[in-house]
Amino acid sequence: MDASEPTPHSDDAVERQAGGWQKVREWIQIIVIALLISLPIRFFVAEPFIVNGASMDPTFSTGQFLIVDRLTYRFESPARGDVIIFQYPLSPPGDQIYYIKRVIGLPGETVSIKDGSVTIITPTAAGSGTTPKTTILDEPYIAPIHASHDSETITLGPTQYFVMGDNRLQSSDSRAWGPLDKRYIIGRPIIRLLPLNTFAVLPGQYHE
């Protein structure tokens, strides 16, 4: 080594090592802070979902990437026509299976399906003497090739919803496994993000 060059000292190496650990600690702090911010959002505010299956054709298709709003239904109830994400009520213990369907019947209503046409009977207050309101649903989100011709009638409990897929021929829904209790509802799609040519805010929502 040339005598004119400074000789490295051990304390220089210690300083460099300490500086390296300082950067590692800073990155760990950044990651921890990011997790503390993102995890509550992930579990309580918004959550990503990918559509799998044909039960909501043509409104939603396999592979579409959704951001699901988990917050709204903590403050208000689902409305008729909302598209919702929920945990399948008959999921095996320890296994979480999620479905995407449309809300058709609301708590306390009677849902009558005849040859595929849906009629909603809304009860009136006891002793009011008025006739229950009857509404035949207009369902423009159902393509003719996806219409069904089934028939059934069911009255919903105070926390129950009747849900169906837009593809009535290929949907496992309340017609097969009964009403959906509110406690299973996760949220609603607030953004359809991918593919980009299908981008939409509150995709699929329809209110008469």
Q: Known catalytic residues?
A: 55, 101
Contact 86, 102 (CB under 8 A): no
**How many other CB atoms are found less than 10 A from the CB of residue 194?**
13
Return the half-sphere exposure (C-beta side, CA atoms, 13 A cut-off) of residue 32. 6
Tell me the residue type at 134: T
Rounded-to-integer distance, Cα 5 and Cα 44, Å: 61
Which position has the token pair 């011709």? 149
Contact 157, 179 (CB under 8 A): yes
Contact 105, 120 (CB under 8 A): yes
Tell me the residue type at 39: L
Region of residue 178 (phi > 0: left; psi between -120 and 50: alpha; otherwise: beta): left
The CA-based dihedral angle spanning residues 193, 194, 198, 203, taken in that order and rounded to the nearest 10 degrees: -40
3 — phi, psi (to 5°)?
A: -65, -20
